[in-house]
């Protein structure tokens, strides 16, 4: 990944300033920003009239129309809201795997960094959560420059070391995150999604039910997709430390079948839940992949 | 070859080695690895085990195929074809005639012909003749019965001992090329011990060679009973004792007859000259060597073949010996003087003539040195002995011509007088490798009597003067000097050489150092030395060139030195049993004929059609080391049969019965090879499926 030198310095992230992160689904918020609120409110920009119904604040009644039409109409306004977003980075041991020079966690940190920068630049509130099998860290959403720097600092500290503490239950993590975010938000999840697919889907369903918009980045190493090892190999789990001796040549076909089935299952579920499912490989240029996704999202 | 079965361990070791040297990879996608392993573990283990077993089986089958295993069933002779190799002993002893006049060789031939007739149609056969050098008649076993019969009938004994282990080794080489799974080696021989060496290393070598054969052959020894009890007299040698054959000189021949037995054998010995019996002797041959002497005086010059034949035993093939010779009409002697009028020339002339007893053995020419150099080529062509009464200053070319002259079988006598040229002496001596054996460099005064040396040499034995006669001469002054290694002293003074003799090529030279006494000039001009000088010159003239007597099996050459082409180059060559016509061939030496086939011992005559060309007689001497017959003791027979794992039998009928009871042999190597190939295909398919 030659296009990632410099790490998460804001100056490096500034190359993405031409992009904007727009929430396509309704996002709560009342601050001025790029995102159109789904709520018909009473702020600056008039949207439409609607018949008065009991309980409406009388101060929103358009008295001019009353005079003209002798009926009670209430004025409704559409207001740009500020986006609340949360970045979730998987720091489990599997994210530390690198067959080449770049580990998946490094790639994921950069994805989070770019989103944090863009959202902050749009004056949107952005929060951050990292999780592994044992602990979670959470920074609530905020839109200040200082908060961006805090997220970037936290990103820099994210590691995915080999450990024996076990695998993180992604479904549970997602459920907990959805409960933490009391208001609707844009959630960017960066993970390799190496967990039980049903559990992951169950966790993602919680986001949908609570009307969060989710972008799911699956970061993969090419070797994990192709399984092109040769010779008898002892595979050691980066999360549990368990080891299995196998001849990868003999195992490849079965491995790839399992891998493809897992991913396609996730992809279908994301499609059903209106979640953006983005697959990125660490051997491909980050900048190009990221730019492609953001451009495509802008066009939608 | 079965040790190769250990190769089965190789796939196991490779498998274990691969497992031991695995790499460790901390991997992210372990959930897929583990689930794949859970799903396929059983089939993978089964596949791996199957592959391992298949690979081990391939190695095992290849090892078994390489070992060429055979299995024997106890049934009767089956229809499977057999490769035969007959090892036919062609040693000299196979010529022994029994009472009915047949020989072991003819018996072996008859037995072999029976075997050929009784061979199954799919059988093939080769024949190895076991002479001193084994001869394979068919490099690969042949199906051609007629060719086998022809080869067998044309085979002849080799007049020598047979190397049976070497012949059996050749038989194994022939069997390497055999296509059949059953092989048989049948050895047809007599019981002579000399053919079966006791050298254990030879037998071990033979066993090792046999072990390399893909299919072990069955061995049979079919022997003809040798005439072991009868003593075998044989003529060991026949030699001429005179220096030169001439009608004027009485000749004496000596034959050595050997009686290898321990008892006295009565018999007769007949000496004949060119087929005409000259003398018959009734004798008792004592154990060991018996020397017979036959005095002869030839009536006329010309080529002769003298033969001696003894009678007294039943094996007559080695009872005759032949000797070819040329009875000279005259011996041309050329005396070369520094000065024709010096007394040495007259002395030589008179010495030879005095001893000649007016029979004109010698034709003496007396020339001075200038005349010699002028007519060098002509003189050397006609002279047989050259006498240099002193050594002049010789040109290089003259020395070269003299060397050629002596090398071709002529003689040179050199008297090194006080006025000899140092350069001439040096050229003749040539650092010890030249014509003369001594290089005189010093003079000394030492009044001593001459003493004979090497009195056992043929020259002294032929001399008509006793060696002791030399002691009557007192030498006051003499010359001495360097002596060549090849020199043989015939006489000396105070341990210094006086007369030396040496062989040079086919001829010989005599060097006389002149004592500088009052009585002596360049030559010992005294009556006491006349017989010695006569003997020396006779000996120098006695070489024969080209050799008339050769060992059996060697070639001889007829050579006619002619200035012009003969009227006819046709010649008839009469061999001991036949004759044929051929032509002489011209080369730089003259017109010649080389006859190579002297397998039969006896007389060979070369008779040109052109009467101007001389007739010549040659003789091939019997060269056998097997005349001293010794039957192989029964203990050694046991050793031989156990070394070869052979059945020994005396009659062809016994061989036929033994062959009929031979076990059926099934060769398995092809089956093993096919199975290995099939398994190899299986391995490839399994391996492909396993990896996919």
Calculate how close chain A gets to B142, using CA atoms only, in Å.
Answer: 56
pLDDT value of position A71: 86
* Cα–chain center distance at B371: 46
B37 interfacial to chain A (CB closer than 8 Å): yes
Average pLDDT over residues B41-54: 81
Indicate which of B18, B19, B32 best probes the interface with A, i.e. most A CBs within 10 Å of its own CB: B32
CB contact, 8 Å: A261 with chain B? no
Nearest to B190 by CA among B104, B101, B313: B104
Task: Indicate if the pLDDT at residue B572 is higher than 90.
Answer: yes
Which of B25, B37, B39 shows the shortest C-beta gap to A229?
Answer: B25
- Rounded distance, CA B614 to CA B558, Å? 10
| Between A163 and B332, residue with greater pLDDT | B332
The yes-or-no verdict on residue B231 having pLDDT over 80 is: no
Q: Residue A265's pLDDT is what?
A: 93
Average pLDDT in the A108-114 region? 90
Which of A95, A251, A259, A281 should be substituted to probe chain B, the one whose Cβ sees the most B Cβ atoms within 10 Å? Answer: A251
Phi-psi region of A52 (alpha: psi -120 to 50; beta: other; left: phi over 0): beta
Overall average pLDDT of the A112-133 stretch:
87
Give yes or no for B29 touching A (CB within 8 A): yes
Name the DSSP letter for residue B138. Answer: -
Contact A104 B28 (CB under 8 A): yes
pLDDT of B355 reads: 59
- Answer yes or no: is pLDDT of A39 > 50: no
The model's pLDDT over B156-173, given as tens digits with 9 standing for 90+, comes to 887 777 888 899 999 999
Q: Taking CA atoms, what residue in B is nearest to A258?
A: B32
- What distance in Å separates the CA atoms of residue B49 and residue B43, rounded to the nearest whole number? 10
CA distance A135 to A91: 10
Mean pLDDT of B24-32: 85
Distances (CA, A) of B322 to B95, B297, B309, B599, B621: 19, 17, 9, 14, 7
Burial of B431 (0-12, 13-18, 19+ CB in 10 A): exposed
Average pLDDT over residues A45-51: 73
Q: What is the mean pLDDT of residues A2-10?
A: 55
Give the separation between CA B628 and CA B130, rounded to whole angstroms: 19
Is the pLDDT at B38 greater than 90, yes or no?
no
pLDDT of the residue at A2: 44
Q: Is the Cβ pair B30, A239 closer than 8 Å?
A: yes
Chains A, B: CB pairs < 8 Å: 101
Place of tokens 């460099």: B441
Query: Which residue in chain A is spatially nearest to B33 when comparing CA positions?
Result: A255
Per-residue pLDDT tens for A61-82? Answer: 888 888 888 888 888 765 445 6
Q: DSSP string spanning A168-186?
A: --HHHHHHHHHHH--S--E
What residue of B is the nearest CA neighbor of A246? Answer: B37
Residue holding tokens 């360097």? Answer: B482
Among A143-157, B92-106, B563-577, B599-613, name the one with the lowest average pLDDT. Answer: B92-106
Instruction: Please indicate if any CB of chain B lies within 8 Å of the CB of A295.
Output: no
Interatomic CA distance for residues A215 and B410, integer angstroms: 123
Q: What is the 3-state secondary structure (H, E, C) of B322-383?
A: EEEEEECCCEEEEEEECCCCCHHHHHHHHHHHHHHCCCCCEEEEEEEHHHHHHCHHHHHHHC
From A104, which residue of chain B is nearest by alpha-carbon distance?
B28
The sign of the CA dihedral B482, B485, B490, B494 is positive
- pLDDT tens digit string along B110-160? 889 988 988 888 899 999 999 878 899 999 899 999 999 999 998 888 777
pLDDT at residue A260 tops 90: yes
Q: For domain A10-27+83-299, which CATH number applies: 1.10.10.10, 3.40.50.20, 3.90.1150.10, 3.40.50.410?
A: 3.40.50.410
Q: How confident is the model at residue A12 (pLDDT cuts 50, 70, 90)?
A: low
**What's residue B168's pLDDT?**
93
Burial label for A243, CB within 10 Å (0-12, 13-18, 19+), is middle
Q: What does the alpha-carbon distance between residue B216 and residue B86 come to, in Å, rounded to a whole number?
A: 16
Phi, psi of A153 (to 5 degrees): -60, -45
Is residue B280 over pLDDT 60?
Answer: yes
Give residue A29's pLDDT.
Answer: 43
d(CA B123, CA B141): 9
Give pLDDT, residue A216.
93
Q: Higher model confidence: residue B296 or residue B312?
A: B296
* Spatial distance between the Cα atoms of B490 and B451, rounded to a whole number of angstroms: 9
Distance from CA of B42 to the nearest CA of A (A): 12
- Contact residues on chain B for A249, CB-CB shorter than 8 A: 691
The pair phi, psi for residue B676, each rounded to 5°, is: -65, -40
Listed range (A132-146, B266-280, B445-459, B479-493) with the worst mean pLDDT: B445-459
Helix (H, G, I), strand (E, B) or coil at A119: helix
Lowest mean pLDDT among B272-276, B409-413, B625-629: B625-629
Number of residues written out for chain A = 300
pLDDT exceeds 50 at position B249: yes
Q: Helix B104-118 and helix B145-154: axis angle, to 10°? A: 180
Can you tell me the distance from the alpha carbon of A245 to that of A252, in angstroms, rounded to the nearest whole number? 14
| CA-based nearest residue to B367, from B347, B397, B387, B385 | B387
> Residue A8's pLDDT band (boundaries 50, 70, 90)?
low
Do A240 and A168 form a contact (C-beta atoms < 8 A)? no
- Beta-carbon separation of B24 and A95 below 8 A: no
Tens digit of pLDDT for each residue in B476-507?
667 777 888 888 888 887 778 888 889 888 88
**Structure confidence at residue A145 as a pLDDT band (50, 70, 90):** confident
Q: At what angle do helices A248-272 and B669-691 cross, to 10 degrees?
A: 20
Confidence of residue B625 (pLDDT cuts 50, 70, 90): low
Q: What is the radius of gyration, based on Cα positions, of chain A?
A: 23
> Which of B27-41, B91-105, B274-288 is most confident?
B274-288
pLDDT at B526: 64
Interface contact flag, A97 B28, Cβ < 8 Å: yes
Structural domain boundaries in chain A: 10-27+83-299, 35-81
Tell me what the mean pLDDT of segment B307-319 comes to. Answer: 85
Q: Which of A41-45, A139-143, B478-482 has the highest mean pLDDT?
A: A139-143
B304: pLDDT strictly greater than 80? yes
Cβ-defined contact of B36 to A255 (cutoff 8 Å): yes
pLDDT band for position B70 (50/70/90)?
Answer: low
CB contact under 8 A, B29 and A251: no
Residue whose C-alpha is closest to residue A87's, from A189, A215, A200? A189
CB-CB: which of A235, A253, A259 is closest to B25? Answer: A235
Tokens of B36: 């794949």
Pure H helices in chain A: 10-13, 63-69, 104-121, 145-157, 170-180, 197-209, 222-226, 248-272, 286-299
Share of chain B above pLDDT 70, in %: 88
- Encoded tokens for B532: 């010695």
Contact A221 B33 (CB under 8 A): no
Tokens coding B18: 């691969």
Q: What is the DSSP letter of B632?
A: P
Contact state of A235 with B32 under an 8 Å Cβ cutoff: no
Q: Would you mind telling me the total number of residues written for chain B in this entry?
A: 692
pLDDT at B1: 57
Q: Which residue segments constitute the domains of chain B, with CATH numbers given?
A: 2-22+39-69+671-691 (no CATH), 82-228+630-667 (3.40.50.410), 234-319 (2.60.40.10), 331-540 (3.40.50.880), 549-621 (2.60.40)
List the one residue out of B198, B208, B169 whose CA is nearest residue B185. B169
Report which of residues B385 and A43 the model is more confident about. B385
| pLDDT higher than threshold 60 for residue B645 | yes
A178 phi and psi angles, rounded to 5 deg: -65, -35
A281 Cβ under 8 Å from any chain B Cβ? no
- Indicate yes or no: CB of B28 within 8 angstroms of CB of A258: no
Chain B positions touching A239 (Cβ under 8 A) are 30
DSSP string, B30-69: HHHHHHHHHHHHHHHHHHHHHHHHHHHHHHHHHHHHHT--
CB B85, CB B141: distance < 8 Å: yes
More confident residue, A215 or B65: A215
With a cut of 90, say whether residue A219 has pLDDT above it.
yes
Beta strands in B578-637, from DSSP E residues, in sequence order: 579-583, 585-587, 590-595, 602-608, 616-621
Closest alpha carbon to B416 in B526, B517, B530, B510: B510
> Which residues lie across from B560 on neighbouring strands?
B591
CB proximity A236 to B under 8 Å: yes
Its pTM stands at 0.51
DSSP letter at B255 equals E
Whether residue B215 is predicted with pLDDT greater than 90 in this model: the reply is no
Q: What is the mean pLDDT of residues B380-396?
A: 87
**CB < 8 Å from B in window 141-170 of A:** 162, 167
C-alpha R_g of chain B = 38
pLDDT at A1 over 80: no
The rounded mean pLDDT for chain B is 82
| Interchain proximity A255–B44, CB inside 8 Å | no
Taking the C-alpha atoms of residue A42 and residue A59, their distance in angstroms, rounded to an integer, is 10
Whether B516 shows a pLDDT value over 60: the answer reads no
Residues 6+ apart with CB under 8 A from B267: B233, B282, B283, B285, B310, B311, B312, B313
Question: Which residue of chain B is at minimal alpha-carbon distance from A252?
Answer: B692
Answer whether residue B79 shows pLDDT above 70.
no
Which of B647-676 are b and which e, b meaning 16 or more Cβ less than 10 Å from the residue's Cβ? bbbeebeebeeebeebbbbebbbeebeebb
User: Helix, strand or coil for residue A15?
Assistant: helix
What's the pLDDT score for residue B172? 92
Structure confidence at residue A30 (pLDDT): 37
- Contact check, Cβ <8 Å, B40/A233: no
For position B5, what pLDDT does the model report?
A: 75
* Residue B535 or B427, more confident: B427
Q: Does A107 touch chain B (CB under 8 A)?
A: no
């Amino acid at each position: 990944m030659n296009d990632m030198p410099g790490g998460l310095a804001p100056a490096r992230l500034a190359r993405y300033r031409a992009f904007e992160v727009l929430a396509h689904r309704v996002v709560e918020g009342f601050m001025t920003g790029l995102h159109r609120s789904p709520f018909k409110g009473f702020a600056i920009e008039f949207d439409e009239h609607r018949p008065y119904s009991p309980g409406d604040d009388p101060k929103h009644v358009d008295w001019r129309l009353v005079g003209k039409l002798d009926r009670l109409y209430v004025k409704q306004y559409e207001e740009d809201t500020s986006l609340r977003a949360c970045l979730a980075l998987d720091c489990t041991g599997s994210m530390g795997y690198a067959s080449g020079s770049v580990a998946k966690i490094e790639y994921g940190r950069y994805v989070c960094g770019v989103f944090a920068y863009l959202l902050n630049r749009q004056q949107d509130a952005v929060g951050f959560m990292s999780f592994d099998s044992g602990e979670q860290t959470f920074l609530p959403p905020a839109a200040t420059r200082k908060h961006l720097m805090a997220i970037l600092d936290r990103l820099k500290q994210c590691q995915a070391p080999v450990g024996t503490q076990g695998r993180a239950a992604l479904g549970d993590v997602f459920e907990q995150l959805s409960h933490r975010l009391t208001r609707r938000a844009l959630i960017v999840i960066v993970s390799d999604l190496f967990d039980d697919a049903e559990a992951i889907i169950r966790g993602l369903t919680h986001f949908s039910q609570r009307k969060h918009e989710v972008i799911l980045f699956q970061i993969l190493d090419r070797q994990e997709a192709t399984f092109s090892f040769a010779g008898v190999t002892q595979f050691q789990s980066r999360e549990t430390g368990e080891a299995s001796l196998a001849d990868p040549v003999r195992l490849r076909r079965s491995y790839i079948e399992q891998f493809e089935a897992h991913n396609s299952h996730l992809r279908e579920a994301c499609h059903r839940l209106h979640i953006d499912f983005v697959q990125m490989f660490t051997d491909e240029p980050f900048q190009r992949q990221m730019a492609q996704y953001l451009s495509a999202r802008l066009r939608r | 070859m079965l040790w190769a079965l250990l190769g089965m361990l190789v796939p196991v070791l490779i498998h274990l080695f691969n497992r031991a040297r695995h790499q460790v990879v901390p991997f992210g996608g372990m959930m897929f690895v583990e689930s794949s392993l859970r799903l396929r573990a059983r089939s993978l283990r089964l596949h791996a085990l199957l592959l391992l077993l298949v690979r081990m089986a391939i190695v095992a089958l290849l090892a078994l195929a390489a070992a060429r295993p055979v299995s024997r069933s106890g049934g009767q002779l089956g229809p499977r074809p057999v490769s035969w190799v007959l090892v036919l002993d062609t040693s000299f002893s196979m010529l022994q005639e029994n009472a009915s006049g047949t020989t072991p060789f003819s018996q072996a031939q008859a037995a072999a012909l029976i075997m050929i007739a009784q061979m199954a149609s799919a059988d093939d056969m080769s024949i190895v003749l076991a002479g001193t050098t084994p001869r394979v008649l068919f490099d690969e076993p042949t199906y051609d019965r007629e060719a086998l019969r022809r080869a067998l009938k044309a085979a002849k004994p080799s007049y020598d001992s047979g190397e049976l282990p070497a012949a059996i080794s050749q038989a194994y080489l022939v069997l390497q090329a055999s296509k059949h799974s059953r092989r048989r080696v049948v050895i047809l021989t007599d019981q002579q011990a000399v053919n079966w060496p006791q050298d254990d290393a030879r037998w071990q070598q033979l066993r090792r060679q046999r072990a390399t054969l893909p299919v072990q052959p069955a061995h049979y020894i079919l022997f003809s009973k040798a005439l072991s009890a009868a003593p075998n007299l044989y003529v060991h040698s026949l030699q001429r004792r005179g220096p030169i054959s001439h009608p004027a000189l009485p000749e004496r021949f000596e034959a050595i007859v050997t009686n290898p037995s321990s008892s006295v054998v009565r018999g007769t010995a007949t000496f004949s000259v060119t087929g005409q019996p000259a003398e018959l002797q009734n004798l008792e041959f004592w154990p060991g060597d018996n020397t017979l002497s036959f005095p002869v005086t030839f009536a006329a010059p010309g080529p002769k073949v003298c033969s001696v034949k003894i009678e007294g035993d039943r094996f007559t093939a080695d009872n005759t010996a032949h000797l070819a010779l040329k009875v000279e009409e005259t011996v041309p002697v050329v005396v070369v003087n520094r000065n024709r009028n010096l007394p040495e020339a007259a002395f030589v002339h008179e010495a030879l003539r005095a001893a000649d007893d007016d029979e004109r053995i010698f034709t003496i020419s007396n020339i001075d040195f200038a005349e010699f150099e002028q007519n060098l080529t002509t003189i050397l062509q006609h002279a047989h002995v050259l006498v240099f009464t002193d050594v002049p200053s010789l040109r290089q070319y003259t020395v070269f011509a003299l060397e050629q002259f002596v090398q071709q079988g002529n003689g040179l006598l050199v008297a090194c007088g006080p006025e000899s040229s140092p350069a001439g002496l040096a050229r003749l001596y040539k650092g010890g490798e030249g014509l003369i054996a001594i290089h005189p460099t010093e003079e000394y005064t030492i009044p001593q009597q001459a003493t004979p040396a090497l009195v056992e040499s043929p020259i002294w034995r032929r001399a008509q003067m006793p060696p002791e006669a030399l002691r009557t001469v007192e030498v006051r002054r003499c010359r001495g000097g360097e002596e060549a290694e090849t020199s043989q002293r015939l006489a000396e003074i105070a341990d210094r050489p006086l007369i030396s003799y040496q062989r040079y090529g086919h001829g010989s030279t005599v060097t006389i150092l002149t004592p500088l006494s009052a009585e002596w000039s360049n030559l010992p001009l005294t009556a006491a030395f006349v017989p010695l000088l006569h003997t020396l010159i006779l000996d120098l003239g006695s070489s024969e060139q080209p050799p008339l007597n050769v060992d059996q099996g060697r070639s001889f050459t007829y050579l006619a030195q002619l200035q012009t082409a003969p009227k006819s180059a046709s010649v008839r060559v009469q061999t001991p049993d036949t004759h044929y016509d051929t032509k002489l061939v011209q080369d730089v030496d003259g017109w010649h004929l080389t006859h190579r086939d002297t397998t039969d011992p006896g007389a060979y005559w070369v008779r040109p059609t052109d009467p101007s060309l001389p007739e010549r007689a040659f003789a091939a001497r019997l060269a056998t080391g097997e005349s001293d017959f010794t039957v192989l003791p029964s203990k050694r027979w046991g050793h031989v049969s156990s070394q070869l794992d052979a059945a020994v039998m005396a009659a062809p009928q016994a061989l036929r019965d033994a062959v009929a009871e031979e076990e059926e042999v099934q060769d398995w190597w092809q089956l093993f090879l096919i199975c290995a190939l099939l398994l190899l295909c299986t391995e490839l398919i399994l391996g492909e499926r396993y990896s996919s």
